[in-house]
């Protein structure tokens, strides 16, 4: 069977070239006679894979020397707890910005370990925008500020990095990391579940400024302490080796594609094509303020919700898969991460026009 255009929010499409390379190397990685899955994480073969993945990521994102890169497990959801456990550093006051479903989860977990101040929320607009800088009421004495640059479900994305003075900024970049260049030094910590723009589920990436490591709450479990992973190069226990390897293949693919500047150009073009198709039609709608629309997750509704099922069935028959919106919002959602080729957007836009002609 040929490959489809998979618009899943995550786990999401991976670059076909990466999958083919993984397939070619599946049973015998570089003459080792072993699959990467079968290798000791401490052997020289896997160590070379791990080191190359990290150095390629550092190069792609221009990660400064004073930041550590960790390859962990537990998903972004574990970070919701690890962040307050590690970053409050004797100061229980934390600031969180609420822009939707994933912010809320981070806030709920943050409350288990700290005194959360919701410094801004856009709930009154049903999360159709992000707050302006001057609408964020920061506490200058907070231990950190947490925000979600891209809300995967709502499809709302910050078009700027909030200024937080000397207070470290912590960002859940699960659904936007690697989509464009980023000033890493504006952040205290960046984290992301891998299953959208990095690699397979099971790997969680953490990029943390080294001065923030080493002062976890008393009683923090060993595996939840960043220092454990920093001190052991993410190999305190068995790391998610295959995910780490595949992430490395994705990083190489990104470098071959022109790096993050190259991705930004393609991603902006892809997103604009899709939003234009939505905005120039009375049949499709997207509720998000045009200044805050996500490049990665594009939710949209049909004028007649009774046609949703037909839309999904007919799209699927055309090889346009996993377009159903999140169960909490309904409608459709096209997730168009780095691995979604521009032809996938063209095919979707063409299908949407044809569907509107038939049923609109």
Residue-by-residue DSSP string for 173-202: -TTTTTSS---GGG-SEEEEESTTTTSSTT
Q: How many other β-carbons are positioned within 10 Å of the β-carbon of residue 163?
A: 12
Which residues have a Cβ under 8 Å from the Cβ of 219 and sit 6 or more positions away? none
The distance of closest approach from Cβ of residue 21 to ligand PMP in the complex, given in angstroms and rounded to an integer, is 24
Which CB sits closer to ligand PMP, 76 or 249? 76
Site for ligand PMP in 77-136 (CB under 6 A): 77, 102
Q: Is 13 in the site for ligand PMP (CB under 6 A)?
A: no
Which CB sits closer to ligand PMP, 10 or 168? 10
211 is catalytic: no
**Residue from 86, 99, 121, 174 in contact with ligand PMP (CB under 6 A):** 174
Site for ligand PMP in 243-272 (CB under 6 A): none
Which CB sits closer to ligand PMP, 128 or 175? 175
The distance of closest approach from Cβ of residue 170 to ligand PMP in the complex, given in angstroms and rounded to an integer, is 12
196 is catalytic: yes
Site for ligand PMP in 134-153 (CB under 6 A): 148, 152
On the CB side of 320, CA atoms within 13 Å amount to 25
Question: Which one of 69-77, 206-214, 275-283, 350-358 is the stretch in contact with ligand PMP (CB under 6 A)?
Answer: 69-77
Q: In what order do the strands lie in the sheet with 93-98?
A: 67-72, 204-209, 189-193, 169-172, 145-147, 93-98, 115-121
Which residues have a Cβ under 8 Å from the Cβ of 21 and sit 6 or more positions away? 249
Which CB sits closer to ligand PMP, 50 or 76? 76
Chain centre distance of CA 283: 30
Token readout for 33 is: 């006679």
Q: Is 154 in the site for ligand PMP (CB under 6 A)?
A: no
The distance of closest approach from Cβ of residue 148 to ligand PMP in the complex, given in angstroms and rounded to an integer, is 5
Q: Is 170:87 a contact under the CB 8 Å cutoff?
A: yes
The distance of closest approach from Cβ of residue 12 to ligand PMP in the complex, given in angstroms and rounded to an integer, is 10
Q: Is 336:152 a contact under the CB 8 Å cutoff?
A: no
Does residue 22 sit in helix, strand or coil? Answer: helix
Of 48, 47, 68, 49, give the one whose Cα is nearest residue 58. Answer: 68
Chain centre distance of CA 315: 25
Phi, psi dihedral angles at 45 (to 5 degrees): -65, -55
The distance of closest approach from Cβ of residue 10 to ligand PMP in the complex, given in angstroms and rounded to an integer, is 5
Q: Is 45:32 a contact under the CB 8 Å cutoff?
A: yes
Taking the C-alpha atoms of residue 27 and residue 273, their distance in angstroms, rounded to an integer, is: 40
Please give the size of the binding site for ligand PMP, defined by CB under 6 A: 11
**Residue from 7, 10, 12, 247 in contact with ligand PMP (CB under 6 A):** 10
Options 68, 196, 270, 324, the catalytic residue: 196
Question: Which one of 19-27, 31-39, 71-79, 345-353 is the stretch in contact with ligand PMP (CB under 6 A)?
Answer: 71-79
The distance of closest approach from Cβ of residue 176 to ligand PMP in the complex, given in angstroms and rounded to an integer, is 8
Options 102, 244, 253, 295, the catalytic residue: 102
Of 200, 337, 248, give the one whose Cα is nearest residue 58. Answer: 248
358 is catalytic: no
Q: Is 76 in the site for ligand PMP (CB under 6 A)?
A: yes
On the CB side of 92, CA atoms within 13 Å amount to 5
Question: Which one of 60-68, 121-129, 171-179, 206-214 is the stretch in contact with ligand PMP (CB under 6 A)?
Answer: 171-179
Residues belonging to the active site: 102, 172, 196
What residue ranges bind ligand PMP (CB under 6 A)? 10, 75-77, 102, 148, 152, 172, 174-175, 193
């Amino acid at each position: 069977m040929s490959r489809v255009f998979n618009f899943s929010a995550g786990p999401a499409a991976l670059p076909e070239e990466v999958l083919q390379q993984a397939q070619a190397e599946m049973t015998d990685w570089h003459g080792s006679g072993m699959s990467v899955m079968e290798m000791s994480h401490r052997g020289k073969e896997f160590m070379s894979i791990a080191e190359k993945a990290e150095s390629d990521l550092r190069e792609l994102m221009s990660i400064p020397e004073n930041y550590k890169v960790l390859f962990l497990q537990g998903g972004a959801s574990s970070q919701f707890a690890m962040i307050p456990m590690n970053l409050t550093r004797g100061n229980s006051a934390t600031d969180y910005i609420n822009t939707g479903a994933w912010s809320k989860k981070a806030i709920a977990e943050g409350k288990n370990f700290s005194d959360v101040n919701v410094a801004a929320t856009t709930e009154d607009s049903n999360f159709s925008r992000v707050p302006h800088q001057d609408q964020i009421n920061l506490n200058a004495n907070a231990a950190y500020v947490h925000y979600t640059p891209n809300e995967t479900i709502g499809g709302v994305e910050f078009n700027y990095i909030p200024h937080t003075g000397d207070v470290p900024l912590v960002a859940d970049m699960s659904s936007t990391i690697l989509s464009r260049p980023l000033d890493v030094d504006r952040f205290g910590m960046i984290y992301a579940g891998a299953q959208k723009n990095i690699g397979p589920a099971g790997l969680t990436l953490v990029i943390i400024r080294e001065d923030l490591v080493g002062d976890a709450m008393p009683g923090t479990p060993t595996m939840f302490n960043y220092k454990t992973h920093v001190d052991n190069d993410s190999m305190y226990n068995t790391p998610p080796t295959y995910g780490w390897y595949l992430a490395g293949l994705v990083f190489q693919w990104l470098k071959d594609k022109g790096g993050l500047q190259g991705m930004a150009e393609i991603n902006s073009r892809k997103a604009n094509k899709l939003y234009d198709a939505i905005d120039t039609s009375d049949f499709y709608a997207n509720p998000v303020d045009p200044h805050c629309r996500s490049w990665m997750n594009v939710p949209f509704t049909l004028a007649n919700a009774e046609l949703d099922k037909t839309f999904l069935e007919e799209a699927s028959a055309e090889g346009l898969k996993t377009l159903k919106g999140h169960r909490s919002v309904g409608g459709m959602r096209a997730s168009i991460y780095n691995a979604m080729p521009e032809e996938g957007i063209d095919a979707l836009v063409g299908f949407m026009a044809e569907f509107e002609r038939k049923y609109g």
